[in-house]
Chains A and B, each alone.
Chain A
Amino acid sequence: MRHDVRYGATDGSVQMPDGTRHYTFGFADLTGVPENRIFSRRGEATLLGPLLEVTEGDDLYLTMTNIGLPGRPDLDDSHTIHFHGFPNQIPLYDGVPELSLSVPVGRDFTYYFKPRDPGTYMYHCHFEPVEHIQMGMIGPVIVRPALERDPAYAGRRFVYNDPAAEFDREFFVFLTELDPDVHANIEGVQEFDWTEYRPQYYLINGRAYPDTIRRNGVPALRQQPYSARIRANAGDRVLLRFVNLGFEQHAMQILGIPFRVVGLDAQAVRGAGGEDLTHLRDIVYIGAGQTVDALVDAPAPGSYPFFNRGYHKLANAGQWPGGMLTEVRVYPPGGLDPQAHPNG
């Protein structure tokens, strides 16, 4: 199956629950936007960038158009798309400016990907990556297994090409931090010494608590479209796709619900001889640039806190409660309709 997707690289801003706003860079979905309308999307970057969702074996043509930074018209940085973890990549499609091309303001470049290994990945801009990642040029990638297209498994969903790795609902849990000094300096045309990086906001899917538990696409969070609440019916098997694209290590816990780790870095947790190496954990400990696929079984109806066990990260600018805190809300069987899309 062929996908033609177009992302615009631009800027925007995000809002934290304490009312502060922070200047960002990021991606806006331009897919299907008429050519003479794409510049109307300047300043419309979202945190996270659009979810990139494809199936193993698909042909993905991802065109990135640099539509500029209206909040920093003096700054003519190029941008790229780096598909983090894509196996056997070639430099032309790897998005490292020093090692192939980057895209200046007003130009397009089309990346081609034919994913072969299902799992959870991430994409991000690799131009001055410390700056462009922290500024928000990041997004999640889901590569679905070919097994889902097998007629014998029609309508069912799997993490990998393994019938044992079936799930009912899936959520990406995308972890980042935000240092407001970085964002203020860049908005104010100032240098930042990256060795002074000190995040004050800890985000799941681009939001800090309590915004994490608000629904997808609330108007007040126009540029932070992704909810971070986990919703399931009792007895559902839920896939959590953890991505860490912050600059710190994180340790995530759901009070009362263990994780079965079935995937690491978009690889099924199996040994070289096919050994089943899946394992239970109460905490998913994840380094920057890693992904973890974990299955949980939704227990009895109720609300289960889901948070970073590094407790100082449960704060917004130092004030509890905030940060990387959300909840798993379990409904009685049949309470929720089948999930239509990830994080739905």
Chain B
Amino acid sequence: MDLHLWAKAGFITTPDGNSIHVWGLTDQAGGPARVPAPLLILRQGEAVTVNLTNLLPEPVSLLFPGQQGVEALPEGGAWEPVRPQHEGGLLTSLAQAAPPGGSVSYRFTPQRPGTFLYESGSNPPVQVPMGLAGAVVIRPADYDPVSNRTAYGAGTGTEYDREYLLMTGEIDPDMHLAVQEGRPVDFAAYRPRYWTLNGRCAPDTMLPDDVAVLPSQPYGAMIMAEPGERVLIRYVGGSTANHPLHPHGNHARLVAVDGHLLRNGTADLSHKRFTVLVGAGQTYDSLFDWTGLGYTPSNPIPTVIPNVRNLAVGDAGWTMWSGTAYLGQKGDLPIGVVSYNEMGEYHFMLHSHEEPQLTNWGEFPGGLMTMLAIFPPGSLGPEVGRLGHGGGM
């Protein structure tokens, strides 16, 4: 496979109306910079070449952590192992870089399936938070999108029905402004004011992929599934901080870390957690399923819901609640409350438990938060929960 990426500047927006200068990658000539970078979906054993054109004012390179035998083709050179670059004895880049206006290519053959990152190896304390990072999903060699959908191959217990990828990020707007204005960046003053999933702050995280209003943030982070389905959630620690990610509704079984299946010979080391601490640069693959407790109108909940006019529903003027206790049912909501509930689906929050991160520059709600929705059986088509939207390759 031969891929082309362009590194360039652009802007992303935050729900509070801010516009942030970013450095991103795009896989379309003339397309807007994307944050995160385009999702690369590769296959175990199939060679890939990534050709990078640098439209930014400083050298840019790409690292592929977790991949073996990566080679680089610098401008005017020959293929050689990827290696750090030095000048006067000091490290200048973690890999061969493309100079401003120039290009570089990388090639490797993925050896093992899993979830990985790719990111800039040049001036990474600036370039990675600026947006030059994305996720890599490597399909197992025996993967088949219809008949053998697994994260790690047949026999690994990683079959799934739907699949999502959540990549964390942080934004210090002062740093982005300094880069925009060509001023030096003071790392000692680094202080994020926004936190993102797939490059978006809540509530934009819940919008679909490829919405027109977010041309540089094409990846949604809304999780949708039906009861009993196995949902593969791939967490990627995409920027420079660690985040404890907590899905409401149920535990998730952690099946792999950093693209390594949690197995030791025949011993299965996978385990369930309700909060996953995803470190910078780490990836965690988890399997989530929600079966519920069997409540239906004919097997009712054991409490009586008071008249909802005496309770608070949609204090913000909106709710995602259906108005009932039951999946697939809709009930009465107080007049004046807008419900974003479509068909009686259940919404659960998925968020960082470092709660100041649930804000956009200090204002709740926002930040590193999305929803995980359980829809009534039979209501979601097979196209829901497939990676490869959002302009991903």
> Could you tell me which A residues sit within 8 Å of B by CB distance?
59, 61, 78, 82, 84-85, 87-92, 94, 96-104, 107-112, 114, 126, 128-131, 133-134, 192-197, 247-249, 264-267, 269-273, 275, 277, 287-290
**A265-B251, A267-B273, A289-B275 known; A101 vs B356 contact (CB < 8 Å):** no
Contact B271 A271 (CB under 8 A): yes
B208 at the interface (CB under 8 A from A): no
Chain A residues lying within 8 Å of B193, measured Cβ to Cβ, are 195
The contact of B312 among A85, A101, A134, A248, by CB within 8 Å, is A101
Q: Which 8 residue pairs across A and B have the least CB separation, nearest first?
A: A289-B353, A193-B362, A287-B244, A287-B277, A130-B355, A85-B274, A78-B312, A289-B275
Contact A269 B290 (CB under 8 A): no
> Could you tell me which B residues sit within 8 Å of A by CB distance?
157, 191-193, 242, 244, 246, 248-251, 253, 267-275, 277, 290-293, 295, 301-306, 308, 310-316, 318-321, 325, 327, 346-349, 352-356, 358-359, 361-365, 371
Contact B268 A267 (CB under 8 A): no
Contact B359 A130 (CB under 8 A): yes
22 chain-A/chain-B pairs, Cβ below 8 angstroms: A89-B250, A89-B348, A94-B348, A96-B349, A99-B321, A99-B347, A99-B371, A101-B312, A103-B311, A104-B311, A126-B349, A130-B355, A131-B364, A133-B355, A196-B362, A264-B271, A271-B267, A271-B269, A271-B270, A272-B270, A289-B246, A289-B274
Chain A residues lying within 8 Å of B302, measured Cβ to Cβ, are 59, 61, 112
Residue of B whose beta carbon sits closest to that of A132: B355
Contact A99 B273 (CB under 8 A): no
Contact A88 B312 (CB under 8 A): no
Residue of A whose beta carbon sits closest to that of B293: A88
Contact B325 A90 (CB under 8 A): yes
Residue of B whose beta carbon sits closest to that of A266: B274
A125 to chain B, nearest CB (A): 11
B170 to chain A, nearest CB (A): 10
Contact A90 B346 (CB under 8 A): yes
Chain B residues lying within 8 Å of A277, measured Cβ to Cβ, are 269, 271
Contact A247 B268 (CB under 8 A): no
Contact A288 B354 (CB under 8 A): yes
**A195-B193, A277-B269 known; A102 vs B312 contact (CB < 8 Å):** yes
B314 to chain A, nearest CB (A): 8
Could you tell me the distance between the alpha carbons of A103 and B306 in the complex, rounded to whole angstroms?
A: 11
Contact A195 B251 (CB under 8 A): no
Could you tell me the distance between the alpha carbons of A97 and B321 in the complex, rounded to whole angstroms?
A: 9
Chain A residues lying within 8 Å of B277, measured Cβ to Cβ, are 249, 287, 290
Could you tell me the distance between the alpha carbons of A266 and B313 in the complex, rounded to whole angstroms?
A: 31
The contact of B320 among A98, A112, A126, A290, by CB within 8 Å, is A98
Among B192, B269, B304, B356, max chain A CB count under 10 A is at B356
**A130-B359, A134-B355, A265-B274 known; A99 vs B267 contact (CB < 8 Å):** no
Chain B residues lying within 8 Å of A101, measured Cβ to Cβ, are 305, 308, 311-313, 321
Chain A residues lying within 8 Å of B352, measured Cβ to Cβ, are 288
**A90-B346, A195-B193, A290-B273 known; A96 vs B315 contact (CB < 8 Å):** no
Chain B residues lying within 8 Å of A114, measured Cβ to Cβ, are 293
Among B191, B271, B319, B364, max chain A CB count under 10 A is at B271
Chain A residues lying within 8 Å of B363, measured Cβ to Cβ, are 194
Chain A residues lying within 8 Å of B356, measured Cβ to Cβ, are 130, 194-195, 197, 247
Chain B residues lying within 8 Å of A130, measured Cβ to Cβ, are 355-356, 358-359, 364
Contact B303 A61 (CB under 8 A): yes
Could you tell me the distance between the alpha carbons of A275 and B265 in the complex, rounded to whole angstroms?
A: 12
The contact of A97 among B301, B312, B327, by CB within 8 Å, is B312
Contact A87 B311 (CB under 8 A): no
**A99-B348, A277-B271 known; A247 vs B354 contact (CB < 8 Å):** yes
Residue of A whose beta carbon sits closest to that of B291: A88
The contact of A109 among B269, B311, B315, by CB within 8 Å, is B311
Chain B residues lying within 8 Å of A264, measured Cβ to Cβ, are 271, 273
Could you tell me the distance between the alpha carbons of A100 and B319 in the complex, rounded to whole angstroms?
A: 7
Chain B residues lying within 8 Å of A288, measured Cβ to Cβ, are 244, 275, 352-355
Contact B271 A98 (CB under 8 A): no
Chain B residues lying within 8 Å of A272, measured Cβ to Cβ, are 157, 253, 268, 270-271
Could you tell me the distance between the alpha carbons of A271 and B273 in the complex, rounded to whole angstroms?
A: 12
Among B272, B310, B361, max chain A CB count under 10 A is at B272
Chain B residues lying within 8 Å of A192, measured Cβ to Cβ, are 362
Chain A residues lying within 8 Å of B244, measured Cβ to Cβ, are 249, 287-290
